Amino acid sequence: MNDTTKNDSSSIAKVNYILQIISTIIGITGIIAVIVAYVNRDDSDDWLQTHYRFQIRTFWISVIYITLGVLLLQVMVGLFILVFTFFWLVIRCAKGLKQLSNNAPVKNVESWFFA
């Protein structure tokens, strides 16, 4: 794969991370990001596939955390969970962006925490 194709492929993953960060304010962008990740994950280089899997897992884990947070809002624990989820998602995406900029795979795709 030449450098131009490599940059194009990683650009899509980069936009996906940004869409996931924006989803903390505008939720629909997270859905767009996960669809793009599902579409591109099999047609990418191995190192880039780890980023798409990481993005997909980030989306679904955040859905679990947000659902739990909303269900527990009445007992005030939910607010803590929602605030945690906001920071968790931003930090997780920032770490993914850093590894992507180094053309490195995600180190711990299966992690439920920050990776």
Q: Is the pLDDT of residue 103 over 70?
A: yes
How many angstroms separate the Cα of 14 from the Cα of each of 49, 63, 68? Answer: 13, 21, 28
Does the model's pTM come out above 0.95? no
Helical H segments across the chain, by residue range = 3-22, 28-40, 46-71, 77-101
**Of 44, 19, 51, 18, residue with least CA distance to 32:** 19
Question: What's the average model confidence in pLDDT over 92-103?
Answer: 94
Q: Is the pLDDT of residue 2 over 60?
A: no
Helix (H, G, I), strand (E, B) or coil at 57: helix
* pLDDT tens column, 46-91: 999 999 999 999 999 999 999 999 999 999 899 999 999 999 999 9
